[in-house]
Structure 1
Amino acid sequence: MEKILVETSAKHIHLSQADLEALFGEGYELTKFKDLSQPGQYAAEEKVTVVGPRNEATMRVLGPVRKESQVELAATDARTLGFKAPVRESGDLEGTPGCVLKGPKGEITIEKGVIIAKRHIHFSTEDAQHFGVENGQIVSVKVETADRSLTFGDVVCRVSDKYALAMHIDTDESNAAGAPKEGEIIK
């Protein structure tokens, strides 16, 4: 069977333009640190401090700016910081906890946006047709590593011509599976 790239996504934050300016100054623009696998996405030089009920952590900002700010954590990160964060798809922020964000030029409180990102696969329309999947479809992905092979269930397929084929899992999931680099879709 054909393999797909599996990437590990560490804790990070996406900011709206208004929140970016509140934290870094009026008219501020993100500075690209390195490109990510998804077209147009990048890790920025900028970092912010996320303050949780129990602890705080400095996290890298990912660009470009978004409509709404959101903090993406692994379950271990959420527990360490003291959040009861739900597993959600990116952008599905209703009913999620908020937090305080600290930057070099200011501090703000976001009312919602702290999530544990649901594992997912990005497909271009062409890739989705090739693999026979549709946007929103749930699949499983089998990963084989030297000593921690497993099958991830409840993997959501996300289809857009803006995407490049890659599965994203968080650091907890990656560690549980021995840091897999590729996987096989099982429907």
Structure 2
Amino acid sequence: MIKLDSQQIVKEVLRKLEERRHDTIAIPVAVSARHCHLSGMALEKLFGKGYQLTKKSDLSQPGQFAANETVTIAGPRGSIEKVRVLGPLRRAAQVEISRTDSIRLGVNPPIRESGNIQGSSPVTIVGPKGSIYLDEGLIIAQAHIHMPPADAHHLDLHDGDYVKVEISNEERPITFERVRIRVSPKFILEMHIDTDEANAGAIKNGQKGRLVKAGLTYDQSI
């Protein structure tokens, strides 16, 4: 029987920890263009009383879909037409744009997780039957990973953790730091980035990235 002294034990523990710090997994990447989520009340104000969204196509995440309906969003400096509405309806209306879009609108929205709109930027949404002004609800979506519980368990990750993702394009290799993990049994494994982030790395839908565990959870303050 081989006996290990205390120093050898410590070295072995540190080696195992270092291996876990560099656990990796290939992950498909989806590029998310500007879009709008609506509440039932917002939908009726924009499209008329009793109106219901109609499905254009299913999205990769189960139960989510792109609607046929589009809206115009407006800020102090300009507007953007034909912004796709996504379904299903939510409790609160929300618009997600890129940093480039924000310059066009003349606004400075925060980078936030979808749904976290408290204190975010105002925006006007215009539909065929009316318009609404949101005191808050305009954000730039933080790069994030939808992850089912099985994958999260395998990687020892939890909802709200942060990791980095490396994408090795020949022309523009890029690493995304501080990518937020979102865990739910409703999710399939997929990383979401916006169009600016995709252009920075010449990334196309369905391309694979390499998720690298950070070992420590990053500062989660926004």
TM bracket, shorter-chain basis: over 0.9
**What's 2:28 paired with?**
5
2:209 aligned to 166, 172, 183, which one?
Answer: 183
1:146, 1:178 within 8 Å by CA — same for their partners in 2? no
Shift of 1:132: 2.4
- CA separation in 1, counterparts of 2:153 and 2:169? 28
- Alignment partner of 1:2: what SS? strand
Matched, 1:138 2:138: no
Write the deviation string for residues 35-73 of structure 1: whole angstroms up to 9, x where unpaired.
Answer: 001100011000001011101012000000011101101
Letter in 2 for 1:184: R
- Alignment partner of 2:38: what SS? strand
Letter in 2 for 1:111: D
Question: What's the TM-score, normalizing by structure 1?
Answer: 0.97
**What's 1:60 paired with?**
84
Taking the TM superposition and a 5 Å limit, the aligned residue runs for 1:82-97 are 82-97=106-121
- CA separation in 1, counterparts of 2:75 and 2:170? 36
**What's 1:129 paired with?**
153
| % identity of equivalent residues | 48
What is the aligned length?
187
Q: Where has structure 1 moved over 2 Å in runs of 4 or more? A: none
1:31 aligned to 46, 49, 54, which one?
Answer: 54
Question: What's the TM-score, normalizing by structure 2?
Answer: 0.82
- CA separation in 2, counterparts of 1:162 and 1:21? 28
**What's 1:153 paired with?**
177
Letter in 1 for 2:212: I
Matched, 1:47 2:73: no
2:25, 2:212 within 8 Å by CA — same for their partners in 1? no
Question: Highest Rg: 1 or 2?
Answer: 2
Shift of 1:126: 1.2
Gaps of 5+ in 1: none
Shift of 1:129: 1.2
- CA separation in 1, counterparts of 2:156 and 2:166? 17
- Alignment partner of 1:113: what SS? strand
- What CA RMSD, in Å, does the superposition of the two structures yield over aligned residues? 0.9
- Alignment partner of 1:115: what SS? strand
Gaps of 5+ in 2: 1-23, 214-222
